[in-house]
Amino acid sequence: SGGIDREMGAGGLPGAVAQPNWLRGGAILTVAADRGESSLWLAGSAADGRWVAREPAMTAWYSVDRAGLRAAVVSSTQLSPSELSVVNLETGARRQLTHFNAAWRDEVGLASAEQFVVGTASGTEVDCWLMKPHGFESGKQYPLILNVHGGPFGQYGETFFDEFQIYAAAGYGVVFCNPRGSSGQATGFARALVGDMGGPDYLDVMAAFDAALERASWADRDRLGVMGGSYGGFMTTWIIGHTTRFKAAISERAVNDWYSMQGASDIGGTFNRQYLGPDATIQDNLEAVLRQSPLTYAKHIETPVLILHSEVDLRCPISQAEQLFVVLKQRRKDVEFVRFPDEDHELTRAGRPSHRKDRFEVILDYLQRKL
């Protein structure tokens, strides 16, 4: 069979959904996510299917010419923001048409990441990346940051990401991975954490970080940080509620309390049951709700933490941040809280440029003080 158990229509940029196209003769062209990449996938019949012009990159958007022979493709790589190419759908030949970012790339220093794979459970492979600081010098010690993506159904990988470049340029190593719950692998991999949020995903993230440390003799074990937004914020709060190995943490637009998430989030009425379990509601199974809430374990947090949140966030309402802040303040822990007015859940991707710049300055200031 030529079938493929992967997310289809997955663009490499936030919010990008590449719709399938019917080609002459009945074939279907779409974009599929696979192991940190997203590329064109051509399905001809039940018996065949193939990648077209696959490379270490993420395709965010595409369109097909009237004859169904060529596709215009927008894609990016670790070292290049999005550019436009034309792809021959029969031969797979690719020709880049634009070089919008060439001059800018000549002016700045960019860092690439080494990919590696970690086996964390029977039959489970987690794709991981390790990025050295820009200007890396052998023999020097550098702080290392673990960054967890949102979703959880999403993926990091072979694409340009401004955040990692900012941190690397500021002198930090970066580790990122696609734990169970991510896209890019089969359905079973994506659904492995349903009913057990903070279980297999936490195991995978920490195993990836341990494996990265083994590869990074240059990483200062006394200057380790963890951060993430949305589900990545959930995992950040969860991690520091279960280990004290990190020197600093940044939990951003996080889900900290599934109890209030059920009724206050714009997707809580359905999202909670999809991930916590079909009966995991306040009225039917409160234990499951509380067991999978990072706030339940906040009493164990000793790691200094910076909380970032937007005041108009309807996906993860700002009360999620306020609850964590209050618990840590009541326990006299090292916690800082920065609120962004007139911004929503998309601050890092679609917020005001001034606020996005402010956010980076806040983060870099905090990392410099703590790491």
Q: Tokens 């916590």 belong to which residue?
A: 276
d(CA 278, CA 91): 46
Residue 316 contacts by C-beta under 8 Å, 6 or more apart in sequence? 230, 233, 253, 254, 255, 261, 265, 309, 345
Active site residue 300: no
Q: Of the listed 38, 230, 260, 310, which one is catalytic?
A: 230
Q: Of the listed 39, 149, 265, 345, which one is catalytic?
A: 345
CB environment 44-73: b (16+ within 10 A), e (fewer): eeeeebeebbbeebbbbbbebeeebebbeb
Active site residue 230: yes
d(CA 29, CA 21): 5
Question: Which residue from 274, 256, 265, 353 is spatially nearest to 313, judged by alpha carbons?
Answer: 265
State the DSSP H helix or E strand holding residue 220, giving kind and residue range, or none if neither: strand 219-229
User: Before 200, cis peptide (omega within 30)?
Assistant: no
For 76, 269, 270, the CA distances from 109, given in Å and listed in that order, are 17, 45, 43
How buried is 119 (Cβ within 10 angstroms: 0-12 exposed, 13-18 middle, 19+ buried)? exposed
Contact 270, 209 (CB under 8 A): no
- Name the residues annotated as catalytic: 230, 345
